[in-house]
């Protein structure tokens, strides 16, 4: 995937920056909004920027907000 494209993506809810996580660093390819604690899926290389499709992140998830 073109990572420059991903850098242009912002959260559709808060318009904040997203953290792109992908294997092997993450279990799956996702775009993370740490402010909303949502993970947007990346399917077939295409980010799905829909709140209804986003995964709610666990409060205690070690993968989020680690930076």
Residues near Zn ion (CB under 5 A) are 11, 13-14, 16, 33, 35-36
HSE value, Cβ hemisphere, 13 Å, CA-based, for 51: 7
The residue among 19 and 29 lying less far from Zn ion, judged by its C-beta, is: 19
CB of 18 to Zn ion, least distance (A): 8
| Beta carbon of residue 50, minimum distance to Zn ion (angstroms, whole number) | 13
Q: d(Cα 18, Cα 31) in Å, to the nearest integer?
A: 6
- Nearest residue relative to Zn ion (C-beta): 11
Measured distance CA(62)–CA(55) in Å, rounded: 15
Nearer to Zn ion, 13 or 26 (CB): 13
Distance CA 19, CA 6 (A): 9
């Amino acid at each position: 995937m073109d990572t420059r494209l991903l850098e242009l993506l912002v959260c559709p809810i808060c318009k904040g920056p997203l953290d792109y996580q992908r294997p092997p660093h993450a279990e799956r390819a996702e775009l993370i909004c740490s402010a909303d604690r949502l993970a947007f899926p990346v399917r077939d290389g295409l980010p799905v920027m829909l709140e209804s499709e986003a995964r709610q992140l666990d409060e205690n998830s070690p993968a989020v907000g680690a930076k």
